[in-house]
Amino acid sequence: MLLSAEEIEEQLKKLNMIIPVRYYDAIGSTNSAAKLVHDETDKHYLVVAGRQTQGRGRNGRSFQSEFGGGYFSFTFSLGAEDVTTQLCGSVMLAALAVRSVMEEYGVDCSIKWPNDVLCGGRKLCGILSEVVYDRDFPDYMVIGIGINVNNPLTGIEDIATSTLIETGRKLPVAEVVARIVRRFFEMLSDKDFEVMTEYRKCCATLGKNVRVTSPDEEFYGVAEDLNEKGMLVVRTQSGQRRVVSCGDVSIRDVLS
Ligand code: BTN
């Protein structure tokens, strides 16, 4: 069944949240659409799609987005902290918000640093955050979330999962989307919420053997900790301490 902007707004209203919504049955990428809508209106919107034809993942990868999943992006103003800290922090917060809402539906998740929400070692949800610059100045942030709900997982069944697979029942996508957005902003505005502490508790990467790949190199080590900015601290096989900010990390014990 197709969604509508009214249905999503209705679900948000039930959670005491008002944010303008744009809904598209099909669009290239909700992250790109959220930027366009923001630049046209100068307002922060929630953009939701029934499916994406060019869903984007991290590091230039694509994100499969068939009907039945939750594909959505929202924008918000940046705060005073440095951009890297806010980028890492918001990705972590988004992953925690997804995990927390999934708990309400009886789906137990962990987080693969920095932004994959896993269930039983398979990916349930991916998150793509982007900072938009106005000339040379960071202007606002876009958070894009793709969660497998009732959608088929064509050709990725070994590495991905959905709430349908995990619970055996179809969940209401508009409600799932609204709850995640609400939870994100709730956590963001809660000054007492300890992002790093909460993240450490459910991070599947910590303590694992990892492979780090970046455009320039590849190395192996153990993921020891997160630093104060949320970057991954890896002890390499030769005993070096390396801080990873944007490399691509695989957990060798969990995912290949
Ligand atoms: C990843 O797994 O590397 C991140 C995937 C992020 C996918 C979401 S779906 C909604 C939003 N629009 C996009 O094009 N990407 C994000």
User: What local confidence, expressed as pLDDT, does residue 256 receive?
Assistant: 31
Q: Which residue has the tokens 């040379």?
A: 136
**Which residue puts its alpha carbon closest to atom 2 of ligand 1?**
126
* pLDDT reported for residue 218: 87
The alpha carbon of 241 and the centre of ligand 1 are apart by a number of angstroms equal to 31
The answer to whether 69 and 162 have CB atoms below 8 angstroms apart is yes
Q: What is the pTM of this model?
A: 0.94
CA of 71 to the centre of ligand 1 (A): 8
Name the closest-CA residue to atom 1, ligand 1. 57
* Residue range 143-187, pLDDT digits in tens: 999 999 999 999 999 999 999 999 999 999 999 999 999 999 999
Nearest partner of 130 among 120, 140, 121, judged by Cα = 140
Q: What is the pLDDT of residue 253?
A: 44
Ligand 1 mean position to 208 CA, how many Å? 25
How far is 167 from 170, CA to CA, in rounded Å? 8
* Contact by Cβ (8 Å): 91, 49: no
Pocket of ligand 1 (CB under 6 A): 29-31, 52, 55-58, 61, 63, 65, 71-73, 126-128, 144-146
Asked if residues 146 and 63 have their Cβ atoms less than 8 Å apart, the reply is yes
Nearest protein Cα to ligand 1, atom 16: 144
Q: In angstroms, what is the span from residue 62 Cα to ligand 1's centroid?
A: 8
Closest by Cα among 121, 236, 100 to 181: 100
Distance 151 CA to ligand 1 centre (A): 15
Q: Residue 224 carries which side chain, given as an amino acid letter? A: E
Q: Could you identify the atom of ligand 1 that is nearest to the CA of residue 65?
A: 9
Q: Which atom of ligand 1 is nearest to the CA of 54?
A: 14
Residues of the chain with pLDDT under 50: 247, 253-256
Return the pLDDT at 8: 98
Distance in Å, CA 218 to ligand 1 centroid: 24
Atom number in ligand 1 closest to CA 59: 3
Cα(121)–Cα(75) distance, rounded to whole angstroms?
A: 30
Question: What pLDDT is attached to residue 38?
Answer: 95
Q: How far is the CA of 3 from the centre of ligand 1 (A)?
A: 19
Q: DSSP assignment of 11-32, as one string? A: HHHHTT----EEEEEEES-HHH
Residue 159: name the closest of 31, 50, 41, 256 by CA: 256
Question: What pLDDT does residue 72 have?
Answer: 98
At 130 the three-state DSSP class reads strand
| Helix, strand counts (H, E) of the chain | 6, 12
Tell me, what's the pLDDT at 246? Answer: 59
